[in-house]
A and B are shown apart, each in its own frame.
Chain A
Amino acid sequence: MGYLIIEQMLNGLQYGLMLFLLAAGLTLVFGIMDLINLAHGSLYMIGAFLAATFFQMLGSFFPALLLAIVATAFIGFILERLLYRKLQTMSHLSQVLATFALILIANESIKIIFGAQPLMISMPSGLSRAIEIVPDELYYPAYRLLIIGVGFAVAIGLYLLVNKTRTGMWMRAGASNREMAAVMGVRIKPLFTLVFVLGAALCALAGALLGPLLAVTIGMGESILIPAFQVIVIGGIGSMRGALIGSLLVGMIDTVGKLLLVLGLGFITDPTNAGTLGSTLASLSISVLMVAVLYFRPQGLFPARG
């Protein structure tokens, strides 16, 4: 029972860190440019499909992953130049409509190019086994540990970028007060291009890493978009630290919270009901957390503006 919880905590960590890869880009794009990008999840889907395709061509996981990241970053660059740069000056409603249209376009394009069937990526051989963490008691898949490791490495890298470099200072300055940052001479446009391309690359990284665990399907972007937005609202829009803490909170509630709810409800109702009810309540409690944060700290846990 104790190990079950530990296992679920590791799952929560893994899910939270992948969520962070999306939320990090989303929060900076929203924070610095005040731009709502609903199609952020589509970049994640595109990254996953490209990784699956490169994997089928090359037969090897890590080169496919790298190629998918580079290609998605390039697509992000083109999109930023053609569309997002224009959207920056428009109203939130226009941004929502345009990026929602982009979701539909991305989904249809993927269907035309890759077909409607889900694609599969195999795990890199050697990582498909389970690692014994506590002898005879706790085994955990090596591949999921790799994901956790990569997630932490990216989090540390982003932390250093945002907190220890001048570019990071400009990002934070831009996220808290874009006009003042421009008055100080920060070149906002190239900074935004950088942030957007970085965000696209992180989406592809998440999509490719999760490829072997989930099926690569059309619409996978939308299902992760809502939690990613919840994360940045909880963490504070524009805050990288907020994105990390928010992601981990949401990841933990989604997995550990679900387990505890299912176990707890098992005492009052039969297991099938407990299972359904538990999952629903866990998703619900993420929204409840978000509402509570909005009520008590409307700027999020780590406000970037203030």
Chain B
Amino acid sequence: MSALLTIENLETGYGPSQVLFGVNLEVQGGEASTLLGRNGMGKTTLLKAVFGQLPAWQGEIRFLGEKINGRSTEQIAQMGLALVPEGRQIFPNLSVEENLVAFHANRNKGEKPWKLDDIYELFPRLKERAGNMGNQLSGGEQQMLAVGRALMTNPYLLILDEATEGLSPIIRKEIWQVLARLKEAGQSFLVIDKYFKELVRVTDRHTFVEKGCSVWSGDTETLQRSPDLWKRYMGV
């Protein structure tokens, strides 16, 4: 196992206002991890920095051992980092199938890359809607498509930003089941979200972020044994 994504002492923000005051995070290959925090913890800012949309003021971001601060968004994506963004951001003027095939690549050079049929098998619903345009889908279907679209690039690391935001409990459960399947298939991923018991159950390692700082990190077992931790940081 080697580190896929390493963030060291990241500080950044917008104009004069600093948002991140020192975030540390490490995601290992083959691992399912989370970055948990309340609203306003700075996760959108963190993602912008990781994807090269916002320069880092201090600290370093490394992906596959290479420093990526300063690289362009598309270069970072092509290295094998994929995102399921908040709000899904499905391309409305592409059909479901086009949203998937347009970005097909084998970026992690795996032997059994995700292909269109695999995505349809993972989400049979998408196959039924293959010909529909991206803007004709329900929220749950959009979420499935966003996950499928990111998987089609066969990334080393998949980042999910608020994977279940605004979805019904049934769809939520379905997404968590899919995450469990991804883990089985050996796909590394990082979920950035609020605290959910079910989410913690299907993942291995966790980092808590509060007010722009990473404040705790550890594995699922430790976290489940210490309820005071998530009560303190997550307010649940």
Q: A176–B93 contact, CB under 8 A?
A: yes
Q: B78–A177 contact, CB under 8 A?
A: no
Q: B103–A172 contact, CB under 8 A?
A: no
Residue B105, interface by CB 8 Å: yes
Q: In the complex, A225 Cα to B94 Cα: how many Å?
A: 29
Q: B72–A182 contact, CB under 8 A?
A: yes
Q: A180–B89 contact, CB under 8 A?
A: yes
Q: In the complex, A305 Cα to B105 Cα: how many Å?
A: 25
Among B47-95, those with CB < 8 Å from A are 51, 53, 72-74, 77-78, 82-83, 85, 89, 91-94
Residue in contact with A183 in the complex, picked from B77, B102, B105, B135, CB distance below 8 Å: B77
Q: In the complex, A166 Cα to B135 Cα: how many Å?
A: 19
Residue in contact with A185 in the complex, picked from B74, B92, B101, CB distance below 8 Å: B74
Query: If A166-B101, A188-B74, A306-B135 touch, does A183 touch B94 (CB 8 Å cutoff)?
Result: no
Residue in contact with B93 in the complex, picked from A172, A186, A187, CB distance below 8 Å: A172
Q: A182–B77 contact, CB under 8 A?
A: yes
Q: In the complex, A182 Cα to B76 Cα: how many Å?
A: 9
Q: Output the least CB separation between A195 and chain B (Å).
A: 15
Q: A179–B93 contact, CB under 8 A?
A: no
Q: A185–B72 contact, CB under 8 A?
A: no
Q: A184–B92 contact, CB under 8 A?
A: no
Among A166, A173, A306, chain B packs the most CB atoms within 10 A around the CB of A173
Q: A183–B78 contact, CB under 8 A?
A: no
B150 closest partner in A (C-beta): A184
Residue A231, interface by CB 8 Å: no
How many A-B residue pairs have C-beta atoms within 8 angstroms? Tell me. 64
Residue A169, interface by CB 8 Å: yes
Q: B74–A186 contact, CB under 8 A?
A: yes
Q: B77–A169 contact, CB under 8 A?
A: no
Residue in contact with B85 in the complex, picked from A176, A183, A187, A238, CB distance below 8 Å: A183
Residue A239, interface by CB 8 Å: yes
| Contact partners of B165 in chain A: CB under 8 A | none
Residue in contact with B73 in the complex, picked from A177, A182, A303, CB distance below 8 Å: A182
Encoded as 1 (CB less than 8 Å from any A CB) or 0, chain B from 140 to 181 comes to: 000000000110010000000000000000000000000000
Residue in contact with A184 in the complex, picked from B53, B77, B93, B98, CB distance below 8 Å: B77
Q: B51–A185 contact, CB under 8 A?
A: no
Q: B102–A185 contact, CB under 8 A?
A: no
A302 closest partner in B (C-beta): B93
B107 closest partner in A (C-beta): A185
Residue A304, interface by CB 8 Å: yes
Residue A49, interface by CB 8 Å: no
Q: B91–A180 contact, CB under 8 A?
A: yes
Residue A175, interface by CB 8 Å: yes
Q: B93–A183 contact, CB under 8 A?
A: no
Q: Output the least CB separation between B107 and chain A (Å).
A: 8
Q: B78–A169 contact, CB under 8 A?
A: no
| Contact partners of B74 in chain A: CB under 8 A | 182, 185-188
Q: In the complex, A183 Cα to B72 Cα: how many Å?
A: 10
Q: B85–A169 contact, CB under 8 A?
A: no
Q: Output the least CB separation between B197 and chain A (Å).
A: 30
Encoded as 1 (CB less than 8 Å from any B CB) or 0, chain A from 171 to 203 comes to: 011011101111111111000000000000000
Q: In the complex, A277 Cα to B112 Cα: how many Å?
A: 70
Residue A170, interface by CB 8 Å: yes
| Contact partners of A305 in chain B: CB under 8 A | 92-93
Q: A306–B93 contact, CB under 8 A?
A: yes
A183 closest partner in B (C-beta): B83
Q: In the complex, A166 Cα to B150 Cα: how many Å?
A: 16
| Contact partners of A238 in chain B: CB under 8 A | 93
Contact sample, A vs B, 21 pairs, CB 8 Å cutoff: A170-B102, A172-B91, A173-B91, A173-B94, A173-B102, A176-B91, A176-B92, A176-B93, A176-B94, A180-B85, A180-B89, A182-B73, A184-B82, A184-B149, A184-B150, A185-B105, A185-B107, A186-B103, A187-B74, A238-B93, A303-B92
The 7 lowest CB-CB distance pairs between A and B, nearest first, are: A185-B77, A169-B102, A182-B73, A180-B89, A173-B91, A184-B103, A185-B78
**Extra pairs beyond A172-B91, A180-B89, A306-B93 (5, CB < 8 Å):** A172-B93, A175-B93, A179-B73, A185-B153, A239-B93
| Chain B interface (Cβ < 8 Å from any Cβ of A) | 51, 53, 72-74, 77-78, 82-83, 85, 89, 91-94, 98, 101-103, 105, 107, 135, 149-150, 153
| Chain A interface (Cβ < 8 Å from any Cβ of B) | 166, 169-170, 172-173, 175-177, 179-188, 238-239, 303-306
